[in-house]
Amino acid sequence: MSNLDVRPKPVECGGRDDVPGRPVHELLPPRRVPLGESTVVRRLLPSLGRRMVGAWCFVDHYGPDDITDEPGMQVPPHPHIGLQTVSWLHDGEVLHRDSLGSLQTVRPRELGLMTAGRAIAHSEESPRDHPAILHGAQLWVALPDTHRHTDPAFEHHADLPVVQKPGFGATVILGELDGAASPGTAFTPIMGADITLADGAEARLPVEPDFEYAALTMTGITEIDGLRVEPGSMLYLGCGRRELPLRAADGAGGLVLLGGEPFEEKLVMWWNFVARTGDEIGRARQDWMAGDRFGVVRGYDGPPIPAPALPATPLKPRGRTR
């Protein structure tokens, strides 16, 4: 998905300065961002208080929306550099096209993983005949300096490993959980898992003390580390845990747990670009507008998204929390 903010603000993030070395509870409230005319997404990362969780640098949550009589998601071709995108669905279908020629329908709990590397363009749309309900999350992962100029790639993994216990199921999106490893390509120590809890079920998840974590609640009310979290929220958890207690507090619960080693490098994010300097962002913007570098997305019914104007103030990387 694209950051469709008409006037996106530059976000500077990365570096370890403000990563707590201990367990914390920081509730990150969602910010509502209109996406086209009929859809609103809730942005959880970057937020005012926190900008990254490991290499995870962007989290939008959308739906559940009934799109029976609507086109649903219609995100025209747009560019990315320096990141990976993860399309993650609980309900519905998204048709992905990119400038490598990929054409792939992504369904619930399948991994659509796009590595932008030095440059890629893609579009995402609800297919013409689509399921009634659309509910999902768009996640971005920052690439480390060693891999951010890599070749662009798209992976689709329909059979992700699942950790199953009574009342508990976890699909491993990226990295590892409880010995199960995702086939998705990762470039930093990172994990993502989609967790389902039956009504009243409890679990103690094994986690890495060196990773920082955050949980995005998608369905139901979940008690995370003893704290009751409403659906559509993100709870930042800090580092230093070996176990994470979870409990479905009111009906079944569905959440996405994101974690990783704190990202040491300082970044600058603007629109759909993750870079290290404002000059790189400016060049990427210019190349997109000139039709260079990013290639062409074929088959999408509509023109590509023009880049917004750059902000008047220069972009430079700085700390990772406000």
User: Which residues contact Mn ion by CB under 5 A?
Assistant: 1-2
- 81: DSSP letter: B
CA dihedral 174, 175, 177, 182 (to 10 degrees): 60
| Cβ proximity to Mn ion, 125 vs 194, nearer residue | 125
Cβ–Cβ under 8 Å, residues 83 and 285:
no
- For the CB of residue 270, give the shortest distance to Mn ion in the complex, in Å: 14
- For the CB of residue 277, give the shortest distance to Mn ion in the complex, in Å: 22
Structure tokens at 183: 């086939």
| Cβ proximity to Mn ion, 1 vs 53, nearer residue | 1
- Nearest residue by C-beta to Mn ion? 2
Rounded CA separation 262/212 (Å): 6
The distance of Cα 4 from the centroid of its chain, to the nearest Å, equals: 15
- For the CB of residue 26, give the shortest distance to Mn ion in the complex, in Å: 27
| Cβ proximity to Mn ion, 255 vs 305, nearer residue | 305
| Cβ proximity to Mn ion, 98 vs 208, nearer residue | 98
- For the CB of residue 287, give the shortest distance to Mn ion in the complex, in Å: 16
Rounded CA separation 12/26 (Å): 20
| Cβ proximity to Mn ion, 2 vs 47, nearer residue | 2
- For the CB of residue 302, give the shortest distance to Mn ion in the complex, in Å: 15
Q: Could you give the angle at the alpha carbon of 50 between the alpha carbons of 185 and 273, nearest 5°?
A: 50
Q: How many CB atoms lie within 10 A of CB 140?
A: 26
Question: Which residue, among 116, 90, 52, 137, has the nearest Cα to 320 in the 3D structure?
Answer: 52
